[in-house]
Structure 1
Amino acid sequence: MGRLRRADSKPISTVGLLVRFTAAGLIVLLSLAALIAFVARQAGVEQATESARQVTYVTARGVVEPRLDAAVIAGQPAALTAFDQAMRKYVLQGSLVRVKLWNADGRIVYSDEPRLIGQQFPLGPEEQEALQRQGSSASEVSDLSRPENKFEIPYKKLLEVYVGVRGINGEPMLFEAYFQYQAVTEAGQAAWQRFAPPSLGALLVLELVQIPFAWSLARRVQRQQRDRERLLQHAVDASDAERRRIAGELHDGVVQELTGLNYALDAMRLGHPTDGQRAELIADSASRLRASIGSLRSLLVDIYPPNLAEEGLTSALAELAAGLERTGVEVRLETDGAEDLPPAVAALLFRTAQEVVRNVAAHSEARSVLIKASRVDGRGVLIVDDDGRGFDESRLGERSSDGHLGLRSIGDLLAESGGTLTVRAAPGQGTRVEAEVPV
């Protein structure tokens, strides 16, 4: 049958698995970096906007409101000049580039842009709400397409904050401050730069720490794949050897017997045997047929015992022992507690016993054999001990072609089930095979 070949089975590359794991980790790292950048920038923008609102509120309360006397509200030139000087000295600095003071009618009472003073524009809903709710503030990105903002177009983008104030005479008014939006975005960028190094550093360290674990996992997966392939190859080789053995036994045993019987019956049919010869031939044929039926029965038991599932391990081992006894070997069978073993464990122990007994019959030249099955401390135990010629344990791996390939496959099956297979042998001192399977 040859070695196993599967076109759809490719060896797992440890490096390939590690590369894929690292690539996936980097993708996650970059995604988290982008998310952190977005969140940090948003937090920075919100913080900068809140700071602008606080500056505008403090300015409105501490600088603007105390100076809103009747002359300023009336728009008298001397009063507006003094108010303008105060605005330029205390307010217009840094990113704050424009201020406007409105009355309830939408007229601009004062602005650091003189061309706006005296002009009247409709107030928006947010501005009217801020004017009516004294002390409250609101902010938004300025709509530079509105006519009252035409002189702010060179700044390209501004953050507009307005606060309701009252004149000394109690008249409600609206104070507006315009901040360069670039300062807001720079604050967001600064927040990102502040949080980025520790966040990305921690993620990078996590990625680096995981790489050794990923390498170990990949090696483990690779070893498991090799083990699975080895077990499958052993199973295929064992199956091939089993088919050859069955074919050989049928050809050399039953087929030869039946062929010889056929020739004898043909000779009797073509000749003129006496009644005594005929009776002798019939008796001999019946004996040879019984022997052939026994051989076939033993072969069927070897393939799979029909009574293992129904009658238990003890009965199946008894059938196996009977087949070995027919070869002239004395067999002692002990099955204390074997009937309590689960079917899966019983089947595995029987398969082990079957392989070992087959090797005993074929290679050991033993005169007596002990077959013992039991349940000990939650484990199913099988012992097959013979007094045959034994062999050198160190050369067990070299004896696959001499009937031990099946034994190696049994060891792999036991290991897959969490069990163990132990072989003790020495030249001239027999062989002892012990198998244990957890229940």
Structure 2
Amino acid sequence: MSRHPAPEPKHPRAGRAEAAERRELQSAIARFLLAGFVALVLVAIPVAFWIRAEAERHALDNAKIITQGLADYAISPLMTEQLLARDPAALTQLDRLLQPWFDGGVVTRIKVWDAQGRVVYSDVDSLIGQTFDQPESARELLAGGPATATLESQNELENAFEETSGELLEVYVRSTAQSGTPLIFEAYYDGTGVRQEQEAVLYGMIPPLLLALAVLQLAQLIPAARLAHRIQAFQATRHSLLRHAVEASDLERRRIARELHDDVIQDLSGLAYALESEERQGPEMQRPLFANARTILQENVRTLRAMTSELYPPDLQEVGLEASLLRLGTPLLERGISLTVDVPDKFVLDRERAVMVYRVAREALANVAKHSSAQLAELRIRQNGHRTEIRISDDGLGFDPSRPPLEGHLGLRILRDTIDQAGGSLEIQSAPGSGTTVTATFVNAAVPTP
């Protein structure tokens, strides 16, 4: 019976990275849904007000049509000279004709005005014959203007009998007496019917509108989730490439440093010893030549050893980041530059970020030692939440960051590109005579493992 090998357990860092990716994806989808809900609310609210306003306009238009019909077919034929003269028989006949409209609750109040603002008929007998100031809309109506309808509480002087009725629908239409005299027919209706019609239209249209917007939102969710997966996969691939690039760079630096130390430096050191022996035992006239050659060779050996340390510092893995940063101050002290190192008591970085922090500090401090002519330098590290910041500043000569670097001085530019690819940032602030500040910011989380 064949046996399949058990799958290798995942590295804890890979598990944490995958969990972080899932949380990030879920958070992105939640933000998308929240944004969609907010957009839905922002769309639904003005649409609801618009529907409500349109329903009110539709109800008012219907009220004007009904009132115009009432004026043309029920009022105008009975507007005789006797009624205009307030003949009791004519008034009683019109009251009897309009009574069904009041009994059915359709109409609350009726008034008929002449051009002088006199009430020539009303279902309230005490109003007949009284004169009131007419609004501008009434005068325009007599001149052939459009009918008007408003929905509001009545509190004018001529509304003494309607002001306690609450919100009423007031409609003005043009009418004529049998003699052709222009009149204004005014009718009041209960406003409850208009509001009920508004609510019926609103409640009938809002559910399908919300359903359509919700379906649209859900239809967008699927491609949005796919896009988020693709972006996340792209970021994971980019981070993986960055990590491999950092590891490859470390391996290459380590190889070059090892070859320099084991081959070139050892051979040059042996040659220096040979020159020292010739200096002591060789001819008297050639000893100064051998001494000068030995001095030059030993200086080159020291330079190569310093370069080896810069290529791949062995103490970074052995003694840790903090001690390695402190050792970077030695070349500065040899040049009379005082270095202050401010590192938090407890700070945590993964290997990739620790290497980047060290490289930023090494490159910046090397520039301070070689080019700044400074007296004081400061290295400070701060961690805030998920971000780490390293800042190196000096009081030296400074320079113009906008000018291209001199040939061979590309260290900070390469660092900037590497940090940008890692999702961080590198900022250089300097000016001639004002010193230099190099600030690098990193995300604390480890590079995701695919």
Q: Which residue of 1 aligns with 2:231?
A: 221
- Mean Cα deviation higher: 15-24 or 252-261: 252-261
Q: How far apart are 1:41 and its partner, in Å?
A: 0.8
SS at match of 2:134: coil
Which structure has the bigger radius of gyration? Answer: 1
C-alpha separation in 2, matches of 1:145 and 1:80: 27
- Residue 121 of structure 2 is aligned with which of 107, 110, 117? 110
Q: How far apart are 1:40 and its partner, in Å?
A: 1.0
SS at match of 1:155: coil
Q: Which residue of 1 aligns with 2:279?
A: 269
1:83 aligns with 2:94: yes
Count of matched residue pairs:
281
Superposed CA offset, 1:325-363 (max 9, x none): xxxxxxxxxxxxxxxxxxxxxxxxxxxxxxxxxxxxxxx
Q: How far apart are 1:57 and its partner, in Å?
A: 1.2
1:193 aligns with 2:206: no
- Residue 124 of structure 1 is aligned with which of 135, 152, 165? 135
- Residue 41 of structure 2 is aligned with which of 16, 30, 54? 30
2:189 counterpart letter in structure 1 = F
Q: How far apart are 1:142 and its partner, in Å?
A: 4.8
Q: Which residue of 1 aligns with 2:75?
A: 64
Superposed CA offset, 1:229-270 (max 9, x none): 212222221222222112112112221221111111110010
Q: How far apart are 1:94 and its partner, in Å?
A: 4.6
Q: How far apart are 1:95 and its partner, in Å?
A: 4.0
Superposed CA offset, 1:364-393 (max 9, x none): xxxxxxxxxxxxxxxxxxxxxxxxxxxxxx
Superposed CA offset, 1:251-296 (max 9, x none): 1222122111111111001003599xx8xx99xx9xxx9xx9xxx9
C-alpha separation in 1, matches of 2:25 and 2:48: 34
2:60 counterpart letter in structure 1 = T
- Residue 180 of structure 2 is aligned with which of 170, 176, 185? 170
Q: How far apart are 1:16 and its partner, in Å?
A: 0.7
- Residue 266 of structure 2 is aligned with which of 256, 263, 278? 256
TM-score by length of 1: 0.58
Q: Which residue of 2 aligns with 1:351?
A: none
Q: Which residue of 1 aligns with 2:409?
A: none
Q: Residues 238, 95 of structure 1: CA spacing in aligned structure 2 closer, same or farther, 3 A cutoff? A: farther
Q: How does 1:332-351 map to 2 (within 5 A)?
A: none
SS at match of 2:207: helix
C-alpha separation in 2, matches of 1:100 and 1:20: 60
Q: How does 1:20-419 map to 2 (within 5 A)?
A: 20-89=31-100, 93-133=104-144, 136-142=146-152, 144-272=154-282
Aligned-CA RMSD value:
3.3
TM-score by length of 2: 0.57
Contact 2:60/2:150 (<8 A) preserved? no
C-alpha separation in 1, matches of 2:126 and 2:200: 36
Unaligned runs of 5+ in 1: 4-9, 304-412, 414-439
Q: Residues 44, 30 of structure 1: CA spacing in aligned structure 2 closer, same or farther, 3 A cutoff? A: same
Q: Residues 108, 166 of structure 1: CA spacing in aligned structure 2 closer, same or farther, 3 A cutoff? A: same
2:88 counterpart letter in structure 1 = P
Unaligned runs of 5+ in 2: 1-12, 14-19, 312-420, 422-450
Q: How far apart are 1:91 and its partner, in Å?
A: 7.2
C-alpha separation in 2, matches of 1:213 and 1:272: 84
Identical columns (%):
38
- Mean Cα deviation higher: 191-200 or 50-59: 191-200
C-alpha separation in 2, matches of 1:115 and 1:15: 74
C-alpha separation in 1, matches of 2:77 and 2:183: 13
C-alpha separation in 2, matches of 1:66 and 1:266: 139
Q: Which residue of 1 aligns with 2:328?
A: none
C-alpha separation in 2, matches of 1:90 and 1:221: 70
Contact 2:153/2:163 (<8 A) preserved? no
Q: How far apart are 1:211 and its partner, in Å?
A: 2.3
1:105 counterpart letter in structure 2 = Q
